[in-house]
Amino acid sequence: MPIIEIRNLSYVYHPNTPYEKKALDDISFTVGKGEFLGIVGSNGSGKSTLIQHFNGLIYPELGSILVSGQDTRDKDFREQLWKKVGLVFQFPEKQLFEATVFDELAYGLKNMGLAAAEIEMRVDEALKSVGLEPEQSRKRSPFSLSGGMMRRVAVASVLAMKPDILVLDEPTAGLDPEGSSHILQAIKKFQQDKGVTVILVSHCIDDLILLADRLAVLDQGKLLAWGLTRDVLAQENLAQYDRLLPDYLKMLFDLKKRGWVINTGLLTVEEACQEIAKILRRDGT
């Protein structure tokens, strides 16, 4: 049974004005429990609007969204949804405001009404999971940290709430490789250890290809493709959105365009090498 069910969702900004913009256009798909879904799309494709529907910040006027079977148009349900669905915004370090890292992580937990001992435990656990040493970082001011560390603190502040569904909007944007691998590892571990559903948004398939079980590709508010990662990559129509693709996939699609009979549903460069070698051998003999 799916944990999130999106049915014919549309969303329009500033209706009936010159600024009118259709952000989402008739989108339907589902997310299974414990699944890792990657949402891909370029800027302005509607990714950020879509994910704000998941924790009830925006509710649908056209179409509907069910989260664990309940409709988010129900106001009482929507207002409690933040406990179930943790949402990490783009550039989450912008939301930090407390005096110490500990208070920052404890903010959501206090709002949940947890006991002090439980909060202490969860803060330490969350800090460790993103690769920060609790003893060293607890008492520091979040504003004295580097950009990458601030990002990790912000992600940890949502992880500490232990949501059933974790949604992240471009969590690695603008980070160095070390910073992004800390965050991606923490997310993957969180999903595997706790059986949590994770939805990760990115403008580049590269980040998601090895992490995600399924992909959803958005373009200008429309759902272009949705399914298992390999199936989505194998699809013909993905080629025209090559700005979203990593280099080796661009090459595979290119070869396909030149008449090669080639499978593009491949996840790594090694797989691509093998596929090309296979075809060359077959054609050679």
Partner 1 sequence: MKKLKLGGYLPGDSLIHRLDPRTKLLGGLAIIITILAVNSWPVFVLNTVLIFLVVYLEKIDFKAVLQGVKWMWMIILLSFTFQCIFVKGTPLVVIGRLIITREGLYLGVLTFLRLLILYLSSTILTMTTSPLKLASGLEALFSPLRYLKVPVNQLAMLISISLRFIPTIIEEAEIITKAQKSRGAPFSSAKKLVRLQTGMAVFIPLIVGSLQRATDLATAMESRCYTGGSNCSRLKKLNFGRTDLMALALIAASCILPLFCFHGRFWQVPR
Per-residue HEC secondary structure of 41-52 comes to: CCCCCCHHHHHH
The residue among 173 and 239 lying less far from partner 1, judged by its C-beta, is 173
The residue among 143 and 260 lying less far from partner 1, judged by its C-beta, is 143
Our finding on whether 171 is near partner 1 (CB under 8 A) is no
For the CA atoms of 74, 77, 82, 83, the dihedral, rounded to the nearest 10 degrees, stands at -170
Three-state DSSP at 32 gives strand
Candidates 67, 123, 158, 266; binder of partner 1 (CB under 8 A) is 158
Our finding on whether 173 is near partner 1 (CB under 8 A) is no
C-alpha–C-alpha distance, residues 184 and 189, integer Å:
9
Asked if 122 and 171 touch (Cβ cutoff 8 Å), the reply is no
Three-state DSSP at 67 gives strand
The residue among 87 and 184 lying less far from partner 1, judged by its C-beta, is 87
Contact pattern from residue 71 through residue 110 relative to partner 1, giving x for each residue in contact according to CB under 8 A and a dash for the rest: -----------xx--xx-x--x-xxxx---------xx--
The residue among 108 and 238 lying less far from partner 1, judged by its C-beta, is 108
Give the closest residue to 23 by CA, choosing from 53, 66, 56: 53
Our finding on whether 174 is near partner 1 (CB under 8 A) is no
- The string over 222-232, giving b where at least 16 C-beta atoms fall within 10 Å of a residue's C-beta and e elsewhere, is ebbbbeebeeb
Stretch that binds partner 1, among 8-16, 39-47, 176-184, 201-209 (CB under 8 A): 8-16
Q: Which structure tokens are listed for 104?
A: 């920052």
Q: Which structure tokens are listed for 79?
A: 């207002």
CB of 56 to partner 1, least distance (A): 9
CB of 154 to partner 1, least distance (A): 9
Asked if 139 and 123 touch (Cβ cutoff 8 Å), the reply is no
The residue among 106 and 262 lying less far from partner 1, judged by its C-beta, is 106
Candidates 112, 121, 204, 234; binder of partner 1 (CB under 8 A) is 112
Three-state DSSP at 56 gives coil
The residue among 164 and 206 lying less far from partner 1, judged by its C-beta, is 164
Provide the binding-site residues for partner 1, judged by CB under 8 A.
13-15, 17-19, 52, 55, 57, 82-83, 86-87, 89, 92, 94-97, 107-108, 111-112, 143, 157-158, 161
